């Protein structure tokens, strides 16, 4: 019953952007590329090559709604606005709720972006020209990669991917959560519990910590520790002048993720000296008709901030 409830929420969150398309040519698609492994499971992405001459830039499309992620939700048609301009597109599937939590999904995106940079020569892309996009939970994860990328670690002969940096150089996303400690208004928490909890999206907030002595995961119950995690997974906490240029599109009647989340994020970005823009959709909720057309605006944003091309 839980899975069915989650799927119904995901459909409402992602609309046509994350529904599988049929009858679309997929000659440029490489499915199920393994970008990492955890607990014996493979983490995968689908790669879509440009349908015109490559511009040597890449777009990461995060397949996520309510932090539920599934390869079946990859929509090849949604890659068109990017591949038709010369972008490589990497459709990334992360470890999904209800099994995995938000901090674990974030780590998967760090891994995915490191992997893409490790393959820059193979795909003939510039590792400093990586954009990232998503909607709702996918928007949240996109912003985390825009504001909280990590430097590469020292050479690891067993896992050379770790030597590359994570994160993105530009972000464009729909209605993202940005601040779990100030949800809709200052001081209201949204950590999967209490009156602010989103129905059917509880599991991603079931934070755990690994007990080294017992060699097992244990739930995080302490309220202070949970708030620390809430701050760590909030994009707004990590903003700096170096944060990636970010475009947010958000409906002003969104009842699931308040537009306050976008407004406060963009305000803090500008205060920090970073580039950010909010495109407010009057009367729109958590999604609207013809959202696919907004992907062209995303492509324009990436053209400007990755390729220095004006429309």
Q: What angle (nearest 5°) sits at the alpha carbon of residue 225, between those of residues 143 and 70?
A: 45
Q: Categorize the per-residue pLDDT at 135 as very low, low, confident or very high, splitting at 50, 70 and 90.
A: very high
State the total domains in the chain.
1
pLDDT at 220: 96
Find the length of the chain.
311
Rounded to an integer, the average pLDDT of 123-135 is 97
Per-residue pLDDT tens over the stretch 42-95: 999 999 999 999 999 999 999 999 999 999 999 999 999 999 999 999 999 999
CATH of the domain at 136: 3.40.50.1820
Cα–Cα distance, 288 to 235 (Å, whole number): 24
The tokens describing 294, both together, are 């907004």
Region of residue 135 (left: phi > 0; alpha: psi -120 to 50; beta: else): beta
- Taking 70 as the threshold, does the pLDDT of residue 19 lie above it? no
> Residue 279 belongs to what domain range?
2-19+28-307
Q: Tens digit of pLDDT for each residue in 230-283?
A: 999 999 999 999 999 999 999 999 999 999 999 999 999 999 999 999 999 999
**pLDDT over threshold 90, residue 3:** no
- Cα–Cα nearest to 60, from 32, 99, 90: 90
Distance from C-alpha of 131 to C-alpha of 126, rounded to nearest angstrom: 11
pLDDT tops 50 at residue 25: no
pLDDT at 22: 38
pLDDT at 98: 95
Q: Is pLDDT of 290 > 80?
A: yes
- Per-residue tokens: 34: 């393994």
Q: Is 216 helix (H, G, I), strand (E, B) or coil?
A: strand
Record the tokens describing residue 271, joined without a space. Answer: 């205060």
Residue 260: C-alpha distances to residues 67, 88, 91, 188, 265 (Å): 20, 33, 28, 12, 8
For the segment 296-308, what is each residue's pLDDT rounded down to a tens digit? 999 999 999 999 9
Tell me: pLDDT of 12 over 60.
Answer: no
Q: What is the tens place of the pLDDT at every residue in 164-187?
A: 999 999 999 999 999 999 999 999
β-sheet bridge partners, residue 41: 38
**Is omega for the bond preceding 98 within 30 degrees of 0, making it cis?**
yes
Q: pLDDT, tens digit, for every residue of 185-235?
A: 999 999 999 888 888 899 999 999 999 999 999 999 999 999 999 999 999
Predicted confidence at residue 7, as pLDDT, reads 42
pLDDT average, residue stretch 139-162: 89
């Amino acid at each position: 019953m839980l899975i069915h409830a989650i799927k119904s929420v995901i459909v409402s969150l992602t609309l046509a952007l994350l529904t599988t398309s049929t009858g679309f040519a997929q000659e440029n698609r490489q499915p199920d590329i393994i970008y990492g492994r955890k607990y014996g499971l493979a983490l995968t992405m689908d790669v879509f090559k440009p349908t015109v001459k490559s511009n040597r830039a890449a777009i990461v499309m995060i397949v996520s709604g309510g932090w539920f992620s599934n390869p079946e939700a990859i929509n090849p048609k949604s890659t068109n606005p990017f591949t038709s301009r010369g972008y490589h597109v990497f459709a990334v599937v992360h470890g999904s709720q209800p099994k995995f939590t938000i901090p674990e999904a974030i780590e998967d995106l760090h891994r995915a972006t490191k992997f893409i940079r490790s393959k820059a020569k193979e795909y003939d892309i510039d590792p400093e020209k990586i954009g990232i996009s998503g909607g709702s939970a996918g928007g949240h994860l996109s912003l985390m990669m825009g504001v909280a990328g990590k430097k590469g670690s020292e050479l690891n002969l067993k896992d050379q991917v770790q030597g590359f940096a994570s994160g993105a150089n530009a972000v464009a996303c729909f209605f993202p959560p940005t601040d779990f400690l100030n949800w809709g208004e200052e001081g209201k928490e949204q950590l999967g519990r209490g009156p602010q909890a989103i129905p059917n999206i509880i599991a991603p907030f079931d934070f755990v910590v690994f007990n080294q002595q017992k060699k097992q995961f244990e739930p995080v119950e302490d309220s202070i520790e949970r708030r620390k995690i809430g701050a760590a997974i909030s994009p707004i906490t990590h903003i700096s002048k170096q944060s990636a240029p970010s475009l947010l599109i958000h409906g002003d009647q969104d009842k699931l993720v308040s537009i306050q989340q976008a407004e406060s994020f963009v305000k803090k970005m500008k205060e920090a000296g970073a580039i950010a823009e909010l495109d407010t959709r009057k009367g729109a909720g958590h999604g609207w008709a013809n959202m696919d057309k907004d992907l062209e605006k995303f492509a324009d944003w990436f053209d400007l901030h990755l390729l220095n091309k004006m429309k």
